[in-house]
Amino acid sequence: MPRKKIFLKLCLLATLLMVQAVSCFGQSTTGSVNMSATVSKFVEINSGGAVTLSGNSGGGVTTDGVANSPLAVSINLGELGPSNLNSFVTAQVPLKLRSNAAYVLSMSATVTSSGTTASRIGAADVGFGLGTVSRTGLGVNAGSDTNATSGDPTLAANGAVNGTTGRYEFTAVRSNLSAFSSSTTALSGPIIMNAVPRSNANGLTVPALFAIKPQFFENGTTTISVTFTVTAP
Amino acid sequence: MMRYAFLTALILLALAQTTSAQALDISAGGQPTITGSVSGSVTGSASVLNDLVVTINFGEVSPLNTNSIVKVVVPIALRSNQPYQVSVSVSGLNNANPQALQASDVGFGLQNMDLLGGAGKVCTQSTHIFTSPFNNDPAVTATIGSNGRVVYPSSLANLSGSTVILSGPILSKNNSSKRQQSDGYVFDAIFTVTPQFFAAGVSSATLIFSISPGPNVPC
């Protein structure tokens, strides 16, 4: 074999070895860490505290609200016939909402009565409204909320005796449960919480106000069931 | 002619050895781990012979994640035949909404500088130093700030440009240009996110760790 060819082959071998050496060492002076995180929309509704029942004759709060616990209260409104001489039986249920996004609080209600006539207690006889909205405490975002109800149903502006029928009626916009036979917006607003941990117990609080005017209702028993739902559209 | 050919081959081999021999090396330091996550993950090589390429998905960090903190530990191996320093730069985390996840919401600390093995160099005249404020475990040191938001002694917000986070003397006993199992040190880079009422969205960031010649400290 000519020496020139051997020389070329050796050079080629050396080059290959060099390339091999470079690739085998595999050292590096840099490394990378890529990271990502997801923040989904989050909303929650809890009890804002104990229920206040007033104007009742008999009855009582069967299952009370516990602040920051799931909302599941049960109230016996007591006697709603004329033997109850109070002008209204009212129940105030504090709600607490928290979110990292704009929210909508909706409500739906059913009213079932054992009575069979038009004088039985119906959804329109149960006044409803949301009271003053409060956004206070560390970590709560300032914002303006829209109350779709007319507020305290016992206000004179929100109801009166019907001049024709004599029955007391809650007449203002969304001031009684007949307006909530299906899920209907009661309150909405912007993001509630700033970037704070869930352990921060603050939030938006608002009282849900229920009222019934004792009247000559048909005797019997009535069950009122209300469901609140908060969403982040 | 044959003599020259052999000589040339030997010179080329020597050159290859010299030009490719890197005195500084950073690699994976073991299996990365993640705790406290919901739908999160971390991927990276468990072998110290492989490059440092780690992908962290913290998962859900809204209050839907009811864990107190999401913690990721990334072991990183280092090798050098000279004093060294490790720098980190971060990019990509630019949420305009202050209530969204910010660099300051990602805790970043360093812990546990340990020998990889027997071929790691033990120096007695200088120590390996985690640059302040990074010498902490952010999962332990996190506190609630005056605005109610979680704060860390050190976070990604402490990285400005290429920031030195660690330096020290020689790391490797041998002068091998080849990565080995035991010829350096390993430390933990710890990343944390506390689930909070962050504004909704997806955030991402990239960190580049670099090793380079450091202050000329004795061994």
Q: What is the mean pLDDT of residues A39-57?
A: 98
Structure tokens at B157: 């917000």
DSSP SS3 for A209: strand
- Name the band, by pLDDT with cuts 50, 70 and 90, for residue B15: very low
How far is A126 from A154, CA to CA, in rounded Å?
11
Structure tokens at B176: 């091998």
pLDDT value, residue B16: 41
- Name the band, by pLDDT with cuts 50, 70 and 90, for residue A214: very high
Sign, Cα dihedral of A209, B63, B206, B157: positive
Q: What is the mean pLDDT of residues B77-94?
A: 96
For the stretch B190-209, pLDDT in tens is 999 999 999 999 999 999 99
Q: Do A22 and B16 touch (CB under 8 A)?
A: yes
Q: Do B6 and A10 touch (CB under 8 A)?
A: yes
Name the residue facing B178 among A19, A25, A196 (closest C-beta): A25
pLDDT value, residue A17: 42
| A198: pLDDT strictly greater than 90 | yes
pTM of the full structure: 0.87
Q: Does B14 touch chain A (CB under 8 A)?
A: no
Q: Does B171 touch chain A (CB under 8 A)?
A: no
Asked whether the beta carbons of A210 and A125 are under 8 A apart, the reply is no
Asked whether the beta carbons of A62 and B57 are under 8 A apart, the reply is no
Structure tokens at A132: 């003053």
Sign, Cα dihedral of A210, A214, A216, A219: positive
CA distances from A158 to A32, A94, B3, B96, B157 (A): 65, 21, 111, 44, 54
Q: What is the mean pLDDT of residues A87-107?
A: 98
Average the pLDDT over each of A26-35, A124-133, A187-196, B34-43 and give the range with the smallest value. A26-35
- Name the band, by pLDDT with cuts 50, 70 and 90, for residue A135: very high
- Name the band, by pLDDT with cuts 50, 70 and 90, for residue B6: very low
- Name the band, by pLDDT with cuts 50, 70 and 90, for residue B176: confident
Q: Does B94 touch chain A (CB under 8 A)?
A: no
DSSP string, A104-122: EEEEEEEEEES--STTS--
Tabulate helix, strand, coil % of chain A (nearest 5). Answer: 15, 40, 45
pLDDT value, residue A4: 57
- Cβ-proximal residues to A206 (8 Å cutoff; 6+ apart), any chain: A48, A94, A95, A97, A130, A131, A132, A133, A134, A145, A187
- Cβ-proximal residues to A164 (8 Å cutoff; 6+ apart), any chain: none
pLDDT value, residue A9: 57
pLDDT value, residue B14: 42
pLDDT value, residue B18: 37
Q: Does B7 touch chain A (CB under 8 A)?
A: no
For the stretch B86-123, pLDDT in tens is 999 999 998 999 999 999 999 999 999 999 999 999 99
Using a pLDDT cut of 90, give the percent of chain B over it: 86
- Name the band, by pLDDT with cuts 50, 70 and 90, for residue A27: confident
CB contacts of B77 in chain A (<8 Å) are none
Question: Number of A:B CB contacts under 8 A?
Answer: 235
| A169: pLDDT strictly greater than 70 | yes
| A32: pLDDT strictly greater than 60 | yes
pLDDT value, residue B108: 98
